[in-house]
Structure 1
């Protein structure tokens, strides 16, 4: 749960920024896939969400749902397949549509694991589709800035990043990407490839959520310590604007404030606090970037900190000196 956004909203700070989210692979399979109902609506009406998915039906359903709910932010889903270039490529449609990919499923490898893993990735059809790039999409839609990017494209995440190099270097400050640690698809880039690519572009890995493991087909048991082979996870990256500028993506106070908001939204509370305190120390003479009140208010709502005694906490003592 975010710690600072409620106070920032109540005190009018969120009115000065607009958050743009782009979700590549935006099929809504479960509740957490719907950003607007997962707390992101706190940025509304200054919130734009663009969903891109190769499945036109999934986009149509998402758009119909948004229209029926009459949300107070901008959200639209566009049927596009992203790659690192424009062209015509086969998409490998699997038994579970959410596992379809521009890479063929690695069936000979998956056969070695229990049935569900092979069943989800079982190839049922190959369809030729047209691809474009994230940069071309942004140019067509007149999108000059994306703040947060999410990727879930079944092994093609690195190709999407390569096709979005302009917007990546120009504006993106945070991203979440699905990563694979073993070859679920033939020839796909793995986590290490994506990590090297993003680090070279000025991003820092903040966390990994390890979400998918598989047990060997012939095994009747698995270890509680190592419960199967690691397949899939999500990697969370941020720019470190406290440390310094990144090429073409300077650490302006507004961009740093956006970064703090995204960090809080994604529950990286320590980073959000570091940035808000940094802005207060360095730009606190400008009331728009003095967040002492919000820091004190928010931390005062956390029972363990209250029990310790707020006035004994160095950050509280320091921030109170900026309240006037």
Structure 2
């Protein structure tokens, strides 16, 4: 799960949601497709639920019932609908392998070689359920979901390429942001790897902007509390953006709404420099750019005292339990690793 840069309170206090461009999304909400919606939309979108009209895909009937009962009526979303079924490259049926840890369930069988090698937990098969498959392009064309799929989140444990193949038209005509889990070794049978997804999305006109919440695995022959070593990349959430500023003509023929939806995605995902860059390139009228930049700075500001407090808390924990010093330090690094690097910032001394 992607580590949010800020929460709902911070977004409200920044004043971003009070600006005219943001208020307009309350009248015409952003279409968010959530594929693999178990437990509800990602936390990053919960910072501003009122600007999202969510179409959630969930093939497990029990989970679909929970989503409709617990999230649909009172989640604060501009809209929330559940599509009962799975997505694929076309129309058909699939075998949903329901595993002991529900969010590990997949349309692909588990690759026991890798789950055994790395001692994965929660991958025990409980039952197999036959589920209907449809292409996202067909669902949106036939069911008339308006502006759906401006932002797409996919977390399906190995079926990513098949879903993307069934969404070619949607990717070309609607989507400006795709967040897709990618794997670096096949812990499901026949699982596409990160390189396959990146190649597909690059061909579709998207740029890989980041690998967030990267998870590593090892065989744990060395105790992490006492030894330092590197581990193998396992999986991450890949962020793909249709960035018009990658091209010399800038926004060019990009519609204002598309640019502003991309700006929303950039803000919620933490790519704040990109949000400012889009605003200056014409995504916002000139008169709105300064208030927008001020709000972004309020949102992103970090008080030095808060950083000192974090460091002092870490130091206190290390002093209290020296044997856990490496683990406590690593946990702080884990919390911060998805944010900006500072190797290009000269030291003051």
TM-score (norm 2): 0.74
1:167-201 deviation line (CA, Å, top 9, x unaligned): 11101001111111001111111000000000111
The 8 Å contact of residues 25 and 152 in structure 1, kept in 2 or not, is answered as: yes
Matched residue of 1:168: which SS?
Answer: helix
Across the aligned residues of Structure 1 and Structure 2, the Cα RMSD in angstroms comes to 2.9
Partner of 2:135: 133
CA offset digits 1:69-104 (Å, max 9, x no partner): 263521122221111111123222222221121111
Alignment of 1:15 with 2:26, yes or no, is no
SS of 2:39's equivalent? coil
Which one of 115, 121, 124 corresponds to residue 122 of structure 1?
Answer: 124
Instruction: Pick one of 294, 297, 300 that aligns with 1:299.
Output: 297
Asked whether the 8 Å contact 2:85–2:131 carries over to 1, the reply is no
1:85-234 correspondence to structure 2 within 5 Å: 85-114=90-119, 117=120, 119-145=121-147, 146-216=149-219, 219-221=221-223, 224-226=228-230, 228-234=231-237
CA contact (8 A) 2:54 2:77 kept: no
**What are structure 1's unaligned runs of at least 5 residues?**
306-324
* Bigger Cα displacement from structure 2, 292-301 vs 19-28: 292-301
User: Is structure 2 residue 57 aligned with structure 1 residue 52?
Assistant: yes
CA contact (8 A) 2:153 2:178 kept: yes
Distance in 2 (alpha carbons) for counterparts of 1:275 and 1:66:
33
Q: Is the 8 A contact 1:4 1:298 kept in 2?
A: no
TM-score for the superposition, normalised by structure 1: 0.79
Q: Is the Cα–Cα contact under 8 Å of residues 95 and 120 in structure 1 kept in the other structure? A: yes
- 1:243 lines up with 2:246 in the alignment: yes
C-alpha contact (below 8 Å) 1:158/1:194 kept by paired residues: yes
Write out per-residue CA displacement over residues 236-265 of structure 1, whole angstroms, 9 at most, x where no aligned residue.
11111123499xx94122221221121011
Segments of structure 2 that go 5 or more residues without pairing to the other structure are: 304-349
Instruction: From the superposition, tell whether residues 161 and 57 of structure 1 become closer, same or farther in structure 2 (CA, over 3 Å).
Output: same
Q: Does 1:275 align with 2:246?
A: no
